[in-house]
């Protein structure tokens, strides 16, 4: 029996693996194997965790002093503000000054449109791709480059069926061609290649289908921002006296059910259900066989991450809090994001090390694996648990644990930023210590 709140109680393993609590629980099983030296690809060095905590605390104190409350949550909003430009705030001012009188709900829906489409385009871009912002001429790479590219496409009406700016709908996504998308991303296969271009485009095409298939979430207009109407109805139905709070499970339901069909058909399936960002873990399977015999129950060796879905959830929560002034309950079930910045921090500080020298490129390059490789599954599972441990260490150092920093704040102010900064020190291109072959939907 999986220990859940009754509202989240799954009725089978496939349902369980698509819940938020399953991520931390299943990754904890991998962590227990690491403590006993039973991972296949990584050794775990807990004595080096303190160095990571010290580094993270130094970043927080450098950038925020003792004003810990000013640390923003980790979310897509930060990437839109790269270069010191408050692009989202500028949009809000423009919309609020509109002579047509755009109300608060429409403003929120526009940001939900933007953030959802931008997050879905946010898998690893690779080391070579860059984007030049049209308005400023400034060049951005990686997540920030993808954010600015998506913002400019959104503002130009490229995602709208009517060509209207500031709107995403199924009509617009269906009309978008690969050539238009490639041009808008400023891709040149020889001089400016984007990792996973086709995968990103396929996500957008499948998003159109998902929006049409779930009118209960996205309305007859098949628009991402209409999820606000669904969430508001659940918020009002949740209590006899409506309050401005919402349990995260309702937003998670929209993401997991409403967007389930967008993930590649090659993803893990269980009992006919496509699970998304869920993968078999060889070390866990071996441990289960030692304990239970050769017949391991279906699904018990699978480890869920739902990284892009959680990244989306974090990002949409900030919109709901900032624009609608809603409180979001239940966010403690969300985890740190198992991606290459957070995970890279652990490898660069030696908390995790690859077991075998044969895993490294014989020509001196970095180890490189597809996202489905069992080494990547171990790395990501360990990252989820280590982020919890680092967060606790950071809180403990800051005024003896009396500082209440959320995990989202620590991701933003310390681990994700720290992973990027240490990577720039260790490698010329600032890339991760382990390279992942991106399909445009993972990492």
Q: What's the pLDDT score for residue 256?
A: 95
CA–CA separation, 262 and 73 (whole Å): 27
d(CA 337, CA 380) in angstroms, rounded, equals 9
Is 4 a domain residue?
no
How far apart, in whole angstroms, are the C-alpha atoms of residue 8 and residue 429? 43
CB 246 within 8 A of CB 329: yes
Question: What is the pLDDT, as a whole number, of residue 363?
Answer: 62
| Residue 443, in any domain of the structure | no
**pLDDT at residue 296, as a whole number:** 86
CA-to-CA separations, 354 to 300, 368, 431, in angstroms, rounded: 25, 12, 17
- Largest Cα separation within the chain, whole Å, is 70
Question: In this predicted structure, what is the pLDDT of residue 365?
Answer: 74
* Signed CA dihedral, 12, 14, 17, 21: sign only: negative
Q: Is residue 5 part of a domain?
A: no
Report the pLDDT value the prediction gives residue 277, as an integer from 0 to 100: 93
What's residue 439's pLDDT?
A: 64
Residue 230 lies in a domain: yes
Q: How many Cα atoms sit within 13 Å of 431 on the Cβ side?
A: 17
For residue 441, the model assigns a pLDDT of 61
Pair of tokens at residue 31:
């962590």
What per-residue confidence (pLDDT) applies to 436? 86
Residue 222 lies in a domain: yes
Based on the structure, what is the number of domains in the chain? 1
pTM: 0.92
Whether residue 303 contacts residue 27, with contact meaning beta carbons closer than 8 Å, is answered with: yes
Within 10 Å of residue 104's Cβ, how many Cβ atoms? 12
Domain residue limits at 387: 13-437
Domain membership of residue 111 (yes or no) is yes
Nearest to 28 by CA among 348, 349, 275, 388: 388
Which pLDDT score, from 0 to 100, does residue 237 have? 66
Residue 139 backbone dihedrals phi, psi, to 5 degrees: -105, 135
Instruction: Provide the residue-wise pLDDT of the chain in tens; the chain has 443 residues.
Output: 343 443 444 569 999 999 999 999 999 999 999 999 999 999 999 999 999 999 999 999 999 999 999 999 999 999 999 998 999 999 999 999 986 778 999 999 999 999 999 999 987 788 899 999 998 999 999 889 999 999 999 999 999 998 899 999 999 999 999 999 999 999 999 999 998 899 889 989 999 999 999 999 999 999 999 999 999 999 876 655 555 689 999 999 999 999 999 988 888 999 888 899 999 999 999 999 999 888 888 899 999 999 999 999 999 999 999 999 999 999 999 999 999 999 999 999 999 999 987 677 666 678 889 989 999 999 999 999 999 999 999 999 997 777 789 999 999 999 999 999 999 999 988 889 998 886 666 65
């Amino acid at each position: 029996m999986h220990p859940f709140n009754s509202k989240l109680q799954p009725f089978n393993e496939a349902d369980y693996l698509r819940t938020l609590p399953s991520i931390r629980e299943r990754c904890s099983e991998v962590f227990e194997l690491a403590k006993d030296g039973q991972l296949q690809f990584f050794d775990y060095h807990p004595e080096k965790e303190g160095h990571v905590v010290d580094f993270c605390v130094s970043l927080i104190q450098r950038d925020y002093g003792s004003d810990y409350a000013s640390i923003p949550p980790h979310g897509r909003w930060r990437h839109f503000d790269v270069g010191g430009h408050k692009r989202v705030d500028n949009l809000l001012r423009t919309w609020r000054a509109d002579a047509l009188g755009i109300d608060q709900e429409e403003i929120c829906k526009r940001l939900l449109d933007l953030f959802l489409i931008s997050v879905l385009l946010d898998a690893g871009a690779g080391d070579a791709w860059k984007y030049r912002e049209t308005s400023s001429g400034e060049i951005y790479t990686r997540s920030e480059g993808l954010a600015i590219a998506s913002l400019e496409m959104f503002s130009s009406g490229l995602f709208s069926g009517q060509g209207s700016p500031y709107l995403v709908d199924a009509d617009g996504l269906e009309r978008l061609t690969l050539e238009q998308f490639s041009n808008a991303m400023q891709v040149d296969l020889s001089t400016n290649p984007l990792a996973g271009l086709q995968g990103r485009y396929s996500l957008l095409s499948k998003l159109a289908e998902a929006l049409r298939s779930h009118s209960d979430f996205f309305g007859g207009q098949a628009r991402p921002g209409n999820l606000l109407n669904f969430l508001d109805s659940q918020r009002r139905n949740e209590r006899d006296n409506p309050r401005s709070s919402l349990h995260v499970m309702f937003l998670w339901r929209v993401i997991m059910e409403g967007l389930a069909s967008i993930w590649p058909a090659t993803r893990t399936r269980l009992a006919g259900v496509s699970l998304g960002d869920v993968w078999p873990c060889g070390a866990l399977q071996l441990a289960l066989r030692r304990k239970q015999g050769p017949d391991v129950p279906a699904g018990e060796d699978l480890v869920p991450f739902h990284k892009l879905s959680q990244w989306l959830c974090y990002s949409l929560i900030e919109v709901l809090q900032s624009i609608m002034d809603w409180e979001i309950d239940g966010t403690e079930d969300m985890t740190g994001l198992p991606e290459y910045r957070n995970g890279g921090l652990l490898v660069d500080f030696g908390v995790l090390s690859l077991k075998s020298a044969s895993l490294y490129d014989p020509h001196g390059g970095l180890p490189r694996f597809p996202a489905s490789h069992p080494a990547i599954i171990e790395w990501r599972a360990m990252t989820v648990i280590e982020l919890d441990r680092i967060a606790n260490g950071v809180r403990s150092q800051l005024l003896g644990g009396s500082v209440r920093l959320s995990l989202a704040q620590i991701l933003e102010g310390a681990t994700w930023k720290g992973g990027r900064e240490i990577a720039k020190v260790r490698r010329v291109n600032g890339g991760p210590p382990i390279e992942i072959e991106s399909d445009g939907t993972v990492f």
